[in-house]
Structure formats: C-alpha cells, structure tokens
C-alpha cells in the first residue's frame, strides 16, 4: 500500500513557507524541525541511558526507574523472540493501566512484533473481530477486573493460541483474581528470558508498529496502521512545542489516569513522558479522590484529561480544599472542551488550560492553541511542528477553501497513518492530494487558527441548513443546570431533521424543561438550530477514554423508530 499520509520530515521542510499559522507560533517554537531518528524502543533506550534510575513510573507508591523499565523490556522482548513472537507476529494487549502495559508495549515492539490494543470495555464480538482482522494469536492480559477470565474464553474458543497473564501481585498487590492456568493460559512472568540475544531484530522506522482500531460505534472498527516513524514523529512534534512556563525535561510528574490502550494516552502520557524523562503516576482508572490526592499531596505537575474528567472534578466539593499550585499544565483532549468548562477549570487552577486536537489516524497529535490566544467555541489552534492542515470542500476534497470558509479538515505529516489495515479501498478514499481527510468539519482563519465545527457524520440538515450539534452543545453548556449534554439529529416531519438534546443535570438544580431550555437558547442559537426535543438522563454514554458517545444515542433513537413501525 502506498504511504499516502506518511510524508517525511524532510518533505515537510521543503514545503512552501511560511504557512499562515507560523505567525501565531511563540517566538521560541519553529514549525520546521529536524527528523528524530529511530524506532519506538529507541525512545526508551535513550531515556534509560540519560535518566538512569530516576523514576519513570509510580504505581501503588512503588517507583520503577528508567533503567529498570528498560531491563524488564529487554528480557521480555528476548523471551518473545525465543518463543517465536518476533518479526511478522501480531500481539494483542488486553490491559488496563498497569506497568504490564508499558513493559509489554515496548517489549513486543523491540522483539519486532506489531501490536493491537484491545479495550477492556470492548464487547466480545468486537474483540473477536479485532483478533481475526489483525491476525493476533497471542493475547496478554492481567488478573484484574475479570480480564483474565474473559480472555481465557478466547483461548477456549480457539480464537487465540495462547494467553499470557501478568499477575498483579508482581507490582505489590494482593487483590488479583485467581487464574486457572493450562497449556494455553500461562504466566507472563515465565516469558522473561535469562539471557539477551546477540543482536536485536533490525527494526526500521517504516515498519508497522501498531494497529489501533477506531470507529467501532457503528459497524466493525477499522485498524489505523501506525508505524514506528508515525509514533516517534508524533512524540517529537509534541515535544517541539514547550511553553516558556512549562517544566523542563525530567521535571514533570504527570498523572497517568487516561487509558493507555487509547491512542491519546499512549501518545501524550506514555511515549511523550518516557521520551522527556518524566515520572508517570500510573493509575488503573480515574476517580476524583485519587486525582486530587495526586495533585494536593503528591504534587503532580501535569494533568492530561478529557472533558468528562474535568467536569467531574468541578462537580466535587473537595476541589475547594485542594492546593492546585503544583500544576504547571492541565490539558484536555479526546473530545471538544466546552468553553464554560474550560473557563471554570482555568479559574480553579490559576492557569490557561492547554487544548488541541488529534485523531487515532494522526497518532493523537495535530494542533494546539498557542498561549495567550483567546479561545472561542470549537477552537483547536494551529498545527503542531511539521504538521500541515487545510480546509477542503465537502463535495470536492481536491478544492482548497479560503480562510473563513467551512469545510473538511485535511492533514498531512510524518505522524499520519498510511491507511487502514486490510481496507485498501477505504484507505485510498481517505486521502486527497496526499492529505488525510479527517471527517471533521471546521474552518481556518487568516492567522492559521483552526476551529472545529463538528464531525461530518454528525451534521444535521434541517430545512436545508447545515446544523452542527457541537455548536448547540457549547451553548447548552452555558446553562447553569447542565453538567453534560449530547445533541443529535432526529427525524422531523417539517424540517427533515431537527436537533434533540440529551442532558445530565447538575445535582441539586431545578428540573430543566424544553421550554426553559429554548428560552435560554433564544439569543444563542439560530431558529434552525433550536432543539425540538429534550431528554433528561442520569448519565450519558461515553467511550473508554471518556468521550461522550453521540452515536450510541443516535442508534437508540433509530431503534425506537424502527420498533414504532
């Protein structure tokens, strides 16, 4: 398959200059940056050589140094090779946030295998599809939360040849589930080799490292192919923009609560902070109390988050008694951050929140908002170093639109996937003139600042007008009774489609009615954008990384219509 989107950094350096967004860059940041050599395992090897015994991971109050982490990775990689899981193999990780993920991730890649992430929240049918599509016959899991028992069923059904279980007791816990071991289900500890190979497999930057599946909410997911070069380029592109008030390399303690099986956390928590020599406070799952302790007591300096996490923090009374002064960075990604939520977080922590945009297909990076730029609803900022973006026509992706016009966001750069595994036709359709077509609708202003309007698939056509649910959601978030909201399109006999709002209310607020909501929105949205129905729910559906799932609600509405005949 042609690597449509994997432009090298040298190509980026030869691009016409200047791009409009370069004028919005801070003076110390350059868009054109030199290529960083090597593969993903090289990131860890360089960090181990530079940072030695300084802590890379803290888990349950135990620290794992960079040198120790690299040593574990080397001996597990040697075991993979000896067992026949080297170049050409596919290994699936079925792991929550545990040190086993970091060790297995780097070890499998160092052995020359390619990886697949399975989400602990995946439905069994989805897991079976990912295994069959990727060709993974080895799964690695842990004995937490019933994962090992669920994965053992895969071996019993013949979906995989072998299951390795990393026991949680290895990291000082006594709470792991009991495991029934067999010839197909064995301990991961036994895979570690005593001796290292005379030479490691000759990895190339262009080798496929990761099949990261995406888009599983409607139909079967598709595997974005991310090479070593994609992941390394994304890491250094992100590192290429360090704010002047940001902690220097090796001085950050980052809260690692976002799930590492998701590309956002994999990129901006694991790979970024390993490369930068920082300590990751690794947590199996998000809860407000632990996060506040990590900030107030353990003095974390960095909190990468998703909007739902930030909303949960704001809703907890304990924030009033927490000292946030250690934080030098609070970031939000994975989904658009409502401007009202951003403002409340900034007032709470006393600094600008860092927001941006990225996708699975772009190895999680794409844009960020420059410091000091007033954030308007939907703003995602400027392309990061070595990344190019433009707006193209929704009807003709070869036609580039002028500043201010709304169309599809297209992106190219060394971080961008070459396409989807086993789907050459979809891969070809996903690119135009070397740019990946993101499916996101937005615009770019004269300064090169991009604004995200909505997903192309979410767009509502109401009475002939394009209506963008995300813009309506931003306005609804301004209502003091609203904690979370999702807007979708539903059939309307007059307009064809109309907006319906699903709202989770703040605790202790008066019940919200459709009439009250429409009155509140009267001067905030157009008549064609006004919701025609409202449903109050105790909770809204979300993905494993915390992104609110409009698609699930849309599926529910379609099912109700079908049942009604």
pLDDT score at 274: 98
Residue 314 makes CB contacts below 8 A (sequence gap 6+) with 341, 344, 345, 348
What angle in degrees, to the nearest 10, is found between the helix axes of 339-349 and 307-314?
A: 60
- pLDDT tens per residue, range 117-143: 998 877 788 899 999 999 999 999 999
> Which structure tokens are listed for 411?
């992106």
Lowest mean pLDDT among 2-11, 151-160, 326-335, 346-355: 2-11
93, with CB counted inside 10 A (0-12, 13-18, 19+), is: buried
* Whether pLDDT at 247 is above 80: no
**pLDDT tier, 470 (very low <50, low <70, confident <90, very high otherwise):** confident
Cα distance between residue 534 and residue 263, in whole Å: 33
- Domains along the chain with CATH numbers: 9-38+223-454 (3.40.50.12780), 40-47+66-203 (3.40.50.980), 461-564 (3.30.300.30)
CA angle (537 as vertex; 500, 359 as ends), nearest 5: 65
Using CA atoms, how far apart are residues 487 and 549, in angstroms rounded to an integer? Answer: 10
Q: What are 466's strand-pairing partners? A: 461
- Average pLDDT of 436-459? 90
Q: What is the mean pLDDT of residues 167-173?
A: 88
The pLDDT assigned to 132 comes to 96
pLDDT of residue 221: 84
Q: How far apart are CA 506 and CA 504, in angstroms?
A: 7
65 near 56, Cβ under 8 Å? Answer: yes
3-state SS, one letter per residue, for 249-309: CCCCEEEECCCCCCHHHHHHHHHHHHHCCCEEEECCCCCHHHHHHHHHCCCCCEEEECHHH
Instruction: Using the predicted structure, report yes or no on whether residue 433 has a pLDDT greater than 80.
Output: yes
Say what the pLDDT of residue 37 is.
81
Contact 259, 96 (CB under 8 A): yes
pLDDT tens for residues 324-339? 999 999 999 877 788 8
CA 101 → CA 122, 198, 542, distances in Å?
A: 17, 26, 23
Nearest Cα to Cα of residue 308 among 535, 541, 554: 541
Residue 402 has pLDDT above 60, yes or no: yes
User: Between vectors from CA 37 to CA 35 and to CA 40, what angle results, nearest 5°?
Assistant: 120
Return d(Cα 168, Cα 145) in angstroms, integer.
11
Which among 179, 161, 162 has a CA at the least distance from the CA of 170? 179
* pLDDT of res. 6: 37
Q: Using pLDDT thresholds of 50, 70 and 90, give the confidence band for residue 463.
A: low
The span from the CA of 430 to the CA of 551, in Å, is 21
Note whether 473 and 444 are within 8 A (CB). no
What is the spatial order of strands in the sheet that 496-505 belongs to? 482-492, 496-505, 533-536
pLDDT above 80: residue 543: no
Query: How many CA atoms, within 13 angstroms, populate the side-chain half-sphere of residue 388?
Result: 23
Residue 374: other Cβ atoms inside 10 A: 6
d(CA 266, CA 546): 15
Q: For 165-169, what is the mean pLDDT?
A: 94
CB neighbours of 319 closer than 8 A, spacing ≥ 6? 292, 313, 348
pLDDT at 5 over 50: no
In angstroms, the CA 407 to CA 397 distance is 9
Among the listed residues 387, 207, 278, 282, the one whose alpha carbon sits nearest the alpha carbon of residue 50: 278
* Per-residue pLDDT tens over the stretch 225-240: 999 999 999 999 999 9
Check whether the bond before 454 is cis (ω within 30° of 0): no
Cα–Cα distance for residue pair 302/449, rounded to 1 Å: 25
Confidence of residue 565 (pLDDT cuts 50, 70, 90): low
pLDDT surpasses 80 at 254: yes
pLDDT for the residue numbered 16? 53
DSSP 7: -
- Which DSSP symbol is given to 420? B
Task: Look at residues 408, 358, 355 and name the one whose alpha carbon lies nearest to residue 387.
Answer: 358
pLDDT of res. 17: 55
Q: Is the pLDDT of residue 3 over 50?
A: no
pTM, to two decimals: 0.84
Place of tokens 């005379």: 198
State residue 2's pLDDT score. 36
* Nearest to 114, CA basis, from 141, 89, 94: 89
Closest CA to 254 of 57, 460, 14, 39: 57
Residues 151 and 139: their CA atoms lie apart, in Å, by 8
Is residue 136 within 8 A of residue 91, CB to CB? The reply is yes
Residues 32-53 have a mean pLDDT of: 93
Mean pLDDT, the chain, rounded, equals 90
Answer yes or no: are the C-beta atoms of 300 and 281 closer than 8 Å: yes
How much is the pLDDT for 18? 78
């Amino acid at each position: 398959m042609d690597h449509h989107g994997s432009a090298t950094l040298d190509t980026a350096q030869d691009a016409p200059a200047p791009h409009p967004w370069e004028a919005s860059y801070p003076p110390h940041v350059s868009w054109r940056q030199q290529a960083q050599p090597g593969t993903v395992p090289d990131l860890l090897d360089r960090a181990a050589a530079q940072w030695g015994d300084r802590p890379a991971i803290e888990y349950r109050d135990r620290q794992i140094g960079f040198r120790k982490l690299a040593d574990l990775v080397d001996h597990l990689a040697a075991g993979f090779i000896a067992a026949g899981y080297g170049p050409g193999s596919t290994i699936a990780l079925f792991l929550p946030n545990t040190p086993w993920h970091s060790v297995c991730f780097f070890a499998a890649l160092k052995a020359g295998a390619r990886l697949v992430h399975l989400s602990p929240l995946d439905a069994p049918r989805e897991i079976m599809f990912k295994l069959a599509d990727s060709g993974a016959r080895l799964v690695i899991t842990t004995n937490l939360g019933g994962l090992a028992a669920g994965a053992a069923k895969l071996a019993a059904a013949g979906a995989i040849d072998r299951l390795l279980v990393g026991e949680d007791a290895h990291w000082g816990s006594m709470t792991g589930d009991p495991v029934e071991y067999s010839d197909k289900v064995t301990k991961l500890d036994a895979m570690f080799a005593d001796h290292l190979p005379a030479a490691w497999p000759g990895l190339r930057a262009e080798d496929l490292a990761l099949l990261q599946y995406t888009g599983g909410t409607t139909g079967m997911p598709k595997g974005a192919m991310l090479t070593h070069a994609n992941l390394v380029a994304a890491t250094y592109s992100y590192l290429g923009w360090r704010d002047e008030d940001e902690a220097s390399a090796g001085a950050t303690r980052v809260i690692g609560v976002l799930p590492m099986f998701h590309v956002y956390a994999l990129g901006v928590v694991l790979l970024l902070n390993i490369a930068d020599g920082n300590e990751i406070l690794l947590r199996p799952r998000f809860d407000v109390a632990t996060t506040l302790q990590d900030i107030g007591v353990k003095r974390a300096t960095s909190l990468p988050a998703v909007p739902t996490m930030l909303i949960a923090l704001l809703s907890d009374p304990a924030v009033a008694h927490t000292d946030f002064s250690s934080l030098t960075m609070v970031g939000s990604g994975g989904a658009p951050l409502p401007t009202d939520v951003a403002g409340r977080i900034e007032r709470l922590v006393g600094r600008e929140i860092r927001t941006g945009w990225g996708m699975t297909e772009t190895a999680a990076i794409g844009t960020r908002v420059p410091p000091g730029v007033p954030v308007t609803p939907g703003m995602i900022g400027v392309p990061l170093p070595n990344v190019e973006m433009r707006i193209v026509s929704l009807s003709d992706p070869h036609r580039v639109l002028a500043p201010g016009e709304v169309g599809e966001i297209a992106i190219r750069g060394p971080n961008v996937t070459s396409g989807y595994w086993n789907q050459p036709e979809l891969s070809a359709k996903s690119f135009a003139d070397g740019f990946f077509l993101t499916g996101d609708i937005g615009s770019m202003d004269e300064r090169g600042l991009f604004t995200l309007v909505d997903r192309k698939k979410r767009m509502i056509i109401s009475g002939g007008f394009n209506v963008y649910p995300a813009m309506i959601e931003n306005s609804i978030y301004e209502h003091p009774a609203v904690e979370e909201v999702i807007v979708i399109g539903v059939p309307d006999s007059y307009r064809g489609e109309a907006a319906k709002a699903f709202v989770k209310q703040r605790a202790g607020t008066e019940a919200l009615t459709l009439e009250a909501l429409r009155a509140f929105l009267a001067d905030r949205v157009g008549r064609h954008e006004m919701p025609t129905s409202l449903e109050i729910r105790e909770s809204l559906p979300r993905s494993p990384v915390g992104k609110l799932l409009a698609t699930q609600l849309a599926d529910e509405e379609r099912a109700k219509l079908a049942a009604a005949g």
